[in-house]
Structure 1
Amino acid sequence: MSQAETDRFRRRCAQFRWLAVFMVVSVGALLALMYLLAPGLLMARGDYPESPTRWLAQVVWALPTVFYLFAVWSIGAAMGQLSKGRLIQPTLVHALRRVGLALGFGGLLSVFGVTNVMRLIEGGRGGWAYFDVAGMTLGMIGGALFLLGGVMEQAGKVQAELDEMI
């Protein structure tokens, strides 16, 4: 890879990092406004039109999004490290593991956690699992990324051992 290609790659990584930061901050701010700030202000004034239980149910439905935003943040952090010239292999291993865990937990929470917490909040109504295909897909992709991160970590260790022998 030539120096010009390396510089272009680093610039793109830096741009992607800022795109990830923008996404996490803007979506996170909107979620905080929708589920925390506005209802909190309305409840403090006594103008909240729904019961606190309904508000809690809405917050529970939004919880998987927090994990998904953490996955995007982790990707952005990895891109930031690459833009600064950090080695690709260790950065990628760390990013794959973090993103995999975040997507996996978000998917599990979306499919099993949300529905069962909602059953508790709403007094036992509803099913045991919500067959959210997007949540299932993200959970499976998260698990696969986590496993790939482990394989890459092991490959890096083997490569280091081989480098020491030569």
Structure 2
Amino acid sequence: MSQTDLVRFRRMCGQFRWLAVFMVVSVGGLLALLHLVFPALVAMRDGVWPDGVLDGLLYRAPTVFYLFAVWSIGRALGQVAKGRLIQPALSGALRRVGLSLGLGGVISVFVVTNLSRLIGATQGGYLHFDVAGMTLGMIGGALFLLGRVMDQAGRVQAELDEMI
């Protein structure tokens, strides 16, 4: 990779970092306003929490994990933009992103459905066949494993470099 390609790549990584920050702040802020701030203002005005606040928070629980995954990707690419080597930055990011997506998927498929039944917000089965949640959970598990493989490869590379 030439020096100009490297500079361009790092600039694009920095731009992606800011895109990730914008996404997390804007989406997270809107969801916080919609599901926490506005209901709290209504509760202060009326003296009672509006119906459906707990349901809304419960259904948005996986979103917190998905936004953390985006934040982790942006953070890793920000480190690459500042000159950190790609392999160490991405191996940690892959583990964090994988864990976040995996937990978000599991919560989406199993926890949201069953807690919704417990609080009486919905009726039905014990498993919600949310294909998107299942897919994100599986991709998250694969990314977590790939992050571990990249860590191991980095350690092996360091050993080989010491031998030379």
Interval of TM-score (by shorter of Structure 1 and Structure 2): over 0.9
Structure 2 stretches of 5 or more lacking a match?
A: none
Cα drift, residue 47 of structure 1:
7.4
Kindly indicate whether residue 68 of structure 2 is the aligned counterpart of residue 85 of structure 1.
no
Name the structure 2 match of 1:75.
73
What is the CA RMSD across the aligned residues, in angstroms? 1.5
SS at match of 1:85: coil
Q: What are the equivalent positions in structure 2 for 1:13-92 lying under 5 Å apart?
A: 13-46=13-46, 50-51=50-51, 54-92=52-90
How many percent identity over aligned positions? 67
Q: CA deviation at 1:123?
A: 7.7
- Amino acid in the other structure paired with 1:112: F
1:154 match: 152
Measured at CA, do residues 105 and 40 of structure 1 come closer, stay the same or move farther in structure 2, by a change above 3 Å?
Answer: same
Distance of 1:142 and 1:76 partners within structure 2? 17
Q: Following TM superposition, where does structure 1 have runs of at least 4 consecutive aligned residues deviating by more than 3 angstroms? A: 47-50
The aligned length equals: 164
3-state DSSP of counterpart to 1:86: coil
1:125 Cα deviation after fit: 3.1
CA 1:130–1:85 in 2, change beyond 3 Å: closer, same or farther? same
Unmatched tracts of structure 1, length 5 or more: none
Map residues 113-124 of structure 1 onto 2, 5 A cutoff.
Answer: 113-122=111-120
TM-score by length of 1: 0.95
Match of 2:124 among 105, 126, 136: 126
Partner of residue 144, structure 1: 142
